[in-house]
Amino acid sequence: MDTENNQFMNYNNPDKKMVIEDFFMKAVLGKGSFAKVILVKKKDNGKFYAIKVLKKSKLEKQRHIDNVIAERNILVGVNHPFVIQLHYSFQNSEKLYFVLEFCPGGELFNLLHKAQKFTEDQTRFYIAQIVLAIEHLHSLNIIYRDLKPENVMIDFDGYIRITDFGLSKNNISNHEKTYSVCGTPEYLAPEILTMQGHEKSADWWSLGALIYELLTGLPPFYNQNREVMYELIKNQNVNIPDYISPICKDLIYRLLQKNPENRLGKNGAFEIKNHPWLQDVDWEILLRKEYRPPFIPILDNIVANFPVDFTQQPIDSVDPFQSVKQLNQNNNIGGFTYNQSQNREMDFQ
């Protein structure tokens, strides 16, 4: 049981190694192939965070370890109001921990699932923020590569955070191509599927797919048969329902161009920001979070916007604990540990 009034750790030592015992475990928020996400409360400051826990045994392949380090480096290097913040990262002999800001509104996916589809005004509010976030990532030579409703979180104020950089590619300059095939099937750009190499504009294809999904409830080329879906992505023109406005249709068509050379955003995010569907957005007001969001989380139950399939699981079932006594320095992954509050990287772990 939590004993939140029992402050038994010495928190005044700035070089104290962070351990999982520094947190009270509150609820399971989600699970994926490699990671589990747990709501925690830090013992020394009483703040809530979302801890992403990865088992080292599941990251045995060097490529997976490289992806985790790349994700950590991106999170440390990116500072944007619409990108998730990394507060700490640390490890022990069995696990890696990303301590991220907690977004109580849950995933945009869950919000969409409840609503079934959004209006164009609602969609524009979320998409405009995503455009600014992707624009910032591209300015840092990062291709995001996993834009989907599950990776867009809603914060305390109803604004978004892009999260999960496990598939992102760093150090890709303008018009430089990368050739790995990765991403979520429904949102993959054709050039990724054909392995012709892809640039930053692959993210703008995913943006077009996301706009379509927010307005209709499904991705544009969705099919339960994955191979059929891939063929549709590569060869089929998108069919947009008539209830979507002509200018929004035009934006979707321009983003879902099979040939990346013809895709809106090829020359930069300004092409998308200047499209008529987004022309009334005041980007500075948006950055200052002065628009009223269509949804603001009610905080009576802090996990109300997360699936009960996860939040009602016993905390023990995710086995987040690994005592500092079992720390094995020989199993450490170098260059992982980070402490934002000290604004420096820590080399001792």
pLDDT value for 71: 94
Annotation says 15 is catalytic? no
Q: Contact 120/74 with Cβ under 8 angstroms?
A: no
Range of the domain at 309: 20-103+299-343
Per the structure, the count of domains in the chain is 2
Chosen domain end from 240, 256, 287? 287
Q: Longest C-alpha distance within the chain, in Å?
A: 63
Sequential DSSP letters for 240-298: --TTS-HHHHHHHHHHT-SSGGGSTTTT-THHHHTSGGGTT--HHHHHTT-SPPS----
For residues 309 and 277, state if they share a domain: no
Predicted pLDDT of residue 326: 47
In a domain, 3, yes or no: no
> Are residues 310 and 274 part of one domain?
no
Is residue 177 situated within a structural domain?
yes
Residue 74: strand, helix, or coil: helix
Question: Are 130 and 182 within one domain?
Answer: yes
Show which of 267, 287, 307 is a domain's final residue. Answer: 287
Residues of the chain with pLDDT under 50: 1-2, 5-12, 317-318, 320-329, 344-349
Distance CA 347, CA 349 (A): 6
Structural tokens at position 9: 């750790």
Q: Which residue(s) pair with 54 in the sheet?
A: 35, 96
Q: Are 90 and 170 within one domain?
A: no
Are residues 97 and 23 in contact, defined by beta-carbon separation less than 8 angstroms? no
pTM to 2 decimals? Answer: 0.91
Do 147 and 280 belong to one domain? yes
- 258 annotated as belonging to a binding site for a ligand: no
pLDDT tens per residue across span 34-68: 789 999 999 999 999 999 999 888 887 767 888 89
Residue 149 and residue 63 share a domain:
no
CATH of the domain at 170: 1.10.510.10
CATH of the domain at 62: 3.30.200.20
Q: Tell me what pLDDT residue 316 has.
A: 64
Which of the following is catalytic: 15, 44, 121, 146? 146
Q: Looking at residue 284, what is its pLDDT?
A: 97
Write down the pLDDT at residue 349: 34
